[in-house]
Structure 1
Amino acid sequence: MTMLRRRAWVALLAVAAVPVMLLAVPAPEASARPNFQAPFPCGTAIRAESFGHAPALDIFRNPTSATEGQLLVAPAAGVVNQSYSSPAGAGNIVQINHGGGWFTTYIHLQARLVDVGDRVQRGVGIGRVGHTGETSNGVPHLHFEMAVDRNGDGRAEWGYPNNERTTPVFNGVTYGQTNSQSSQITSRNCGSAKDEFGVFRPSDGSWYTPGTVLTTNWGEPGDLPFAADLNRNGIDEIGVFRPSTGNWHTVGQIVHSNWGEPGDLPVPGDWNGDGITQIGVFRPSTGDWFTPGTVLRTNWGEPGDLPVAGDWNGDGIDEPAVFRPSTKDWFILGRTLAANWGEPGDLPVAGDWNGDGIDEIGVFRPSTRTWHKPGVVMQSNWGERGDLPIAGNFN
C-alpha cells in the first residue's frame, strides 16, 4: 500500500514539537500477544509480501486470481473499533481491538461484514478482500497490519511508518521482519471451538448438552428446535420455530413473526458468509428452501427428506443438505455427501466436530440413544426417545 504521505508529515511534525525529555520516556508494553492465526478460513493457501513497507503485509490468495472476494475471518477474539470507507484513500477499512493493547487492521476490503462495537470470535467473518481506495493501485489484495497501542489512545496507527506497527505473528510464526520478504502460508485459523451436539426435550421444555443443562422449562410441544449464531459473537443460541404461530423464538426474544408454514422444517445457516446465521426452512411439500424474503432453492429434495445445513468445504458459506432415510443417502446440490449411511429413524445433525472449519454430518439414533458420525460413535447412552437434536458452539 502506498504510504499516506500527509499523515507521515503530520506525525514527523508532531514528533519534532515534543521536548527531548518526553522522547526519552519508554513506550508502554502490551500484554501477552493473543494466539493470532492468519485472517483466512482454515486451510486457505496465501502468499504474504512485505514489499517495501515491512512490517506491513500485502496478502494474496494462492492462486492470485482467487484473491478478489476471499472471505476474511478474525485472527483472534476482539471488538471492532473501526469500520468505515475512505474511497480516496485506503478504501474499506476494519480494525479490531484484541485487548491488552493488540490491534489488527484490514485495508482495501471489497466488503466490510462488521460494524464498530461488534464482538467477534476467532474464525468469524469480518470482510472480503478487494481493491478499494486509490492507494490499492487497483490490485486485489489485503493490506494487513498488526500493532500495539503504545501511546494508550485506544487505537492503533496504520498506513505509514510508526512505532505502533509490529511484525505480524500467525500460528506462532513471525512474518514481515524485513522488506522484500515473501512467505507462503496455510491458514490454521480453524475455528474458536468445536461444535457439540445437544437436545431439546419437548416433554418438559429442557435443553441439554452432555454434562450441561442449557436451560429448563422453555419451549412447547410441537416446537421445532434450532441453534444459530444470530449476532456474530461466535456463540450459538438455542431457538425454536413454532409452526402453530409461524413465530421464531430465542430465549426472551421473538426473532421473526408470522413466517413459515405448518410442515416446514427449520434449517438455519450462514447463507452469504457474513458470519451471521439466518433462519430458513425446507418445505418438503414443494421441495423449496426459503429464508425471509429469499428463495434459496426450488424443487430440490423430496417428501421424507430431513434437512441440515453446513459449511461442507470451509469457504465460510453454508449450503443446504438432506438426509434421505429411505435410501440412507446424504445429498447437497450436485453431489452425494455420503451413501448408505444412517438408518431409518435417525435424526440428522451437522457440526464442526473437530474445529477444522468444515462441517460434518452426524445422527442421533433414538432407538439406541447413540450419536454417530461416519465411522465414529460420538456418544453412547445419552438422550431419550422424543428428544430432538441440535448442534452448535454453545460456550
Structure 2
Amino acid sequence: MGKAKEVIGYLSGPVDGPAVYAKWKAGEALDYFGTSYLSQFLTVVRDRGARPVIVTYNDQPDSRIEVDDAVFYNIRRFEYPGLGYHRDVIQRIRRSADVMIDEGAATVVMTESSPYWFAARKMGRRGTKLLPALHGQLWSTHRAKRLTHRILEWFNGRWFFRPFVRQTIVASDAIARQVEQITERLRPQPQVFLPTYDPAAFAAIPAPVRGPSEPFRILVAGRIEADKGVFDMIAAGQWMKRRGLDFEFHFCGEGTALAAAKHEAAEVDLSNQFVFHGFCKRDELITMFGRSHAVAVPTRSELEEGFAMIVAEAVLAGRPVVTSRVCPALAYVRPAAVEVPPDDVAAYAAAFERLMTDRDFYDAKVAATRQCQAQFYDPANSYGAKLAEALDALG
C-alpha cells in the first residue's frame, strides 16, 4: 500500500473552486483578466505530489465536491449587516479550521482570514503548519487606527502570528511592515510576491494614440464601490467638464454602488462622459486597455488595499496610471504614475488635465511604463514561486 499523499489546505475567497480547477487542468485561461492565485497554488501542490483541500466562501449553499484527488468545500457567506457580518466571518474561519483538521491537512495556506486570523488558532494548537498569504493590509495606514483595529492587532499578534506562524507571504511591502509590527520577532521576514503575467497577454494592446477630435479616455477597472472612488471620479468629472475638457471615463466592473453611480452621473449631466460596461471578460478588458489613454485607481483611504493589480496591468498595457499612496502598488510603478493625495478630488482632476494637455509629460509617463514592466513578467516574483519557497522552509 502506497504512502498517503501530504494534504495541503487552502482557505480561498469567493471563487468557484471547481471551475478554476477545470480551467487549470485543461491549461486554459480564466474568463477574467489578471493572475489567478488559486491556479498557482494548484500547480505548487501538484509539483510537490500533494493533495489539495480548498475551502471557498461564496453565496452558494454549503458543499463538498471531489474532483480527481482534490477536495473543494464551499462555506456559504452571508452579507449580514453590522455585527452579524463579523460574527459570520469568525464562524466561517472556525468551520474552515474544523474542515482542515478533519481532512488531515499538514499545512494550510490562509488567504481569507483577515482581520480575524486568531479564529483559526485551533489548527495551530493541533500542530498544523499555518502559512498566511496576505493580499490585503491589516488596517488602513492613511487614517487614525481605531480602537477595534488595536484590539484585533493584539489578538492576532498574541494568539495567532507569534505562537503559530513561521512563514508568511504578502502582496506588498506595506503589508510586510504591518505583519512585522504585530509579530515583533517573526523570522524570517515576510516574503513579498507580485502579480505576474504572460507577456503574450498584453502583446495585442497597441500603444496609446489620441486623434485630434478624440476624447481622452480614462479606464477604471474593478469593483464599483464608494470606497473604490467611483463618486470621487464623478466629482472630478464635474470639475473637468467645467474646464471644457474633452474626456470619457470607462468603468469595467460590477459592485453595490453601480446603480447609484449611474444615477449620480446622470444627475450631474455626465451620462455621455461616464460609461459603465459592467463585468468585462479577458478579451473585452484588453480591448478597453487598447482604447484608453490612462488608467485611474482612485481607492479611498478607508479601504485596506493590499496591492491593486490593476496598477500593474496599466503599466503592462503601456498606460500611465493616476493613483494615490493608498495603493501600495504605486511604490512599484512610480515613474509611470501620477501620484495624488488620498481622497483629493481636485488633485485627481488636475492630474487628468495635465496628462491631457501636457504632451511631453504624457509621453514621458508612457515611456516610463516600459521600465516598470519586467518585475511583473518575472516568474521568480510570482505568488507560486514565493509559496513554494515558504512551503519548503516549513518542511
Q: TM-score, normalised by structure 2?
A: 0.29
Larger CA Rg, structure 1 vs 2: 1
- The one of the two structures with greater contact order (alpha-carbon pairs below 8 A, sep at least 6) is 2
Larger strand share, 1 or 2: 1
Larger helix share, 1 or 2: 2
Q: TM-score, normalised by structure 1?
A: 0.29
